[in-house]
Amino acid sequence: LVTYDRYPLHPDNCSPLTFLATSHPITEINRTQRSYSTYRIMALAQSFKLLSGHEIPAVGLGTWQSKPNEVKNAVEHALKSGYRHIDAAAVYDNEKEVGEGVKASGVPRKDIFITSKLWNTHHKAEDVETALDITLKDLQTDYVDLYLIHWPVSFNKKDDATRFPLHPETEAVDVIDVPIAETWKAMEALVKKGKIRTIGVSNFTREKIEDLWKTAEIKPAVNQIEAHPYLQQPELLAWSKEKDPDGIRAILAEQSTNRVLCVSAVNDSIIADLAKSLGKEPAQLIISWSVQRGTVVLPKSVTPSRIEKNFEVFELPKDVFEKINALDRNHRYNFPARLGVDIFGESDPETLKKAVETWVTQQKKIRAGQA
């Protein structure tokens, strides 16, 4: 599902696209046959079964970066158009509008799969339920279908509303150490209370998940990461489908690219040519490729026609699927180095230090300009 940094999909608005992989083999995937006018749509997964036993729809609507005055209508239209999966998060600051859109759609709550995410300021055990209760109130529901730890990084909470609390001396984001096991245990308790049906993580490495497994009573059913044609992470995807020693399959989720750079595979000439050859749009091609590789996709749009088109997934011919696989650059766009934490095990201390200093300087200039 989605992270806080920017991920474009469409060239006009750099909308984000997220993906998710599941924990069960292809034989356990529910399939239906569909067809469309310009290209024969073959069977693709319509939902995936998670470790919790619940089904998650293969295509949903992402709400990251959707403006408050737009997201309500987008959610309402998506649900009326057949979507049954809505992705949200506290840090998106639009969950109230998401809840209004769900209510306005008229679709019964029991038929909708809603995801939300625990933000970094509420990782301490005593803060987890508070954060969830705010989300539930905003979404106008008494439970979420999936709740994720948004990042494996904890902030020193100032209050329930401040997303990026600053350290009083360094003026950098105030990062603190809260064991993931502590946060996870609190989330497990909320599953038992009935406020959450499935729990998972986001932006976790394989090593972090394996470490969590050592203490988890309930295994994480989802790991949301950055993934797209330019960062396909085949090793992590393959590992997610392997059985662990207990016979439980690992899981995975994916995302697209960086909004600030506006780098998106949807603009790739090869993607464009392949889509044209099939009578489809580039976004439809990427979404279908994502589902075909075993992941749930959460394209974001507030345009009614695009919301509808994004829901039309189809099975790619083998040669087209392989050509998209060949686009992998192993290039990560979404890395918040400004936090000073080596989240993915890919940065050296000096690089992180400079990133923090640069961010602090930029923020000081912004505040000075607002004074």
Active-site annotation, residues? 92
The alpha carbon of residue 136 and the mean position of all alpha carbons in its chain are separated, in whole angstroms, by 19
Angle between helices 282-292 and 318-325 (to 10 degrees): 90
Nearest-angstrom CA–CA distance, 253 and 230: 15
Nearest-angstrom CA–CA distance, 107 and 35: 25
Please provide residue 114's backbone torsions phi and psi, each rounded to the nearest 5 degrees: -115, 130
Q: What is the residue type of 246?
A: D
Q: Which of 330, 322, 333 is nearest to 235 (CA)?
A: 330
Measured at the alpha carbon of residue 188, what is the angle toward residues 185 and 193, in degrees to the nearest 5?
130
Measured at the alpha carbon of residue 64, what is the angle toward residues 32 and 130, in degrees to the nearest 5?
105
Tokens standing for residue 324 = 């998209």
Nearest-angstrom CA–CA distance, 311 and 207: 34
CB burial string 267-288: b at 16+ within 10 A, e below: ebeebeebbeebebbbbbbbbb
H-type alpha helices, the chain: 68-80, 95-105, 125-139, 180-193, 206-213, 234-240, 269-277, 282-292, 304-310, 318-325, 349-370
- Give the alpha-carbon dihedral of 127, 5, 89, 29, to 10 degrees: -120
* H or E element in which residue 341 lies: none
Q: Which of 80, 85, 87, 86 is nearest to 107 (CA)?
A: 80
